[in-house]
Amino acid sequence: MVKEVLTDCENRMKKTVSIFEDDLKTIRAGRATPALLDKINVEYYGSNVPIKQVGNVSAPEPRLLVIQPWDKTVLPQIEKAIMKSDLGLMPNSDGSIIRLNIPQLTAERRKQLLKVVRQMAEDCKVAIRNIRRDGNDEIKMLESDSEITEDDAHRGLDKVQDLTNKYVKEVDVVLKRKEEEILEV
């Protein structure tokens, strides 16, 4: 029973770190990456769909994103969606493709991005600690219901703490990588 609790905690912690990594991909670090547009949706035949579902998104150069819609009639909607987003990019269209020039980050903007990224990392760590709390509560419940021994409960609590430490360190590693990416000139 303790193994089930540990497996559940580990799966949830892995998922939390994975979501954190995905969220970091959408933060502009001065380099063009198609993941920047992942959270932007386009109005397409009455439904909101991600940009990558209405066209091909590529980064042919380090500071350029190119969006080539499969249906040319959706071009204005893509432009509107990009302008409404918080990316601060201006789309350039030639009637068949959209080009997005990614400007160089200023020192002030880099500091702002570092604050945002660090806050996201802290939120992720809080989520991991909440998972730890849930796992600890489940183990204590099993012990109070006499389904496991006191020794098993202590070992289980120690293993939950070990998992927590492991995934908090993983968040720190991911954060450090993103900070270095933001600070690159």
pLDDT tens per residue, range 110-146: 888 889 899 999 999 999 999 999 999 999 999 999 8
Do 50 and 114 have their domain in common?
Answer: no
The last residue of one of the domains, among 77, 101, 125, is 101
Kindly state whether residues 174 and 157 are assigned to the same domain: yes
Shared domain check, 177 and 110? yes
Nearest-angstrom CA–CA distance, 89 and 121: 25
116 and 68 in a single domain? The answer is no
How many domains is the chain built from? 2
Across 103-108, average pLDDT: 80
Distance (Å, rounded) from C-alpha 36 to C-alpha 34? 5
Residue 31 predicted with pLDDT over 80: no
pLDDT at site 173? 96
Give residues with Cβ within 8 angstroms of 24, minimum separation 6.
117, 120, 174, 178
- Does this model's pTM top 0.95? no
Same domain, 60 and 86: yes
pLDDT at 124: 96
What CATH number is associated with residue 90?
A: 3.30.1360.40
Are 38 and 79 contained in the same domain? yes
> For residue 7, what pLDDT is reported?
94
**Structure confidence at residue 30 (pLDDT):** 66
What is the sign, positive or negative, of the torsion defined by CA atoms of 93, 98, 102, 108? positive
Q: Which residue intervals of 26-149 are DSSP H helices?
A: 75-84, 107-144
Where does residue 88 fall: left (phi above 0), alpha (psi -120 to 50 degrees), or beta otherwise? left
Shared domain for 85 and 149, answered yes or no, is: no
Give the pLDDT of residue 93.
Answer: 87
pLDDT tens digits, one per residue of 54-94: 889 888 888 888 999 988 888 888 888 888 887 777 888 88
- CATH number for 116: 1.10.132.20
Domain shared by 179 and 116, yes or no: yes
155 alpha-carbon distance from chain centroid: 33
- Residue 130 is predicted with a pLDDT of 96
Res. 185: pLDDT tops 60 = no
Measured in degrees and rounded to the nearest 5, phi and psi for residue 153 equal -65, -45
Q: Rounded to an integer, what distance in angstroms lies between the CA atom of residue 12 and that of residue 37?
A: 26
Domain that holds residue 95: 34-101
Select, from the ranges 93-102, 137-146, 176-185, the one with the highest average predicted confidence (pLDDT): 137-146
Residue 78 shares a structural domain with residue 124: no
> What is the chain's percent helix, strand, coil content, to nearest 5?
65, 15, 20
pLDDT of residue 2: 86
Q: Are 111 and 166 found together in one domain? A: yes
Residue 7 backbone dihedrals phi, psi, to 5 degrees: -65, -45
User: How much is the pLDDT for 165?
Assistant: 96
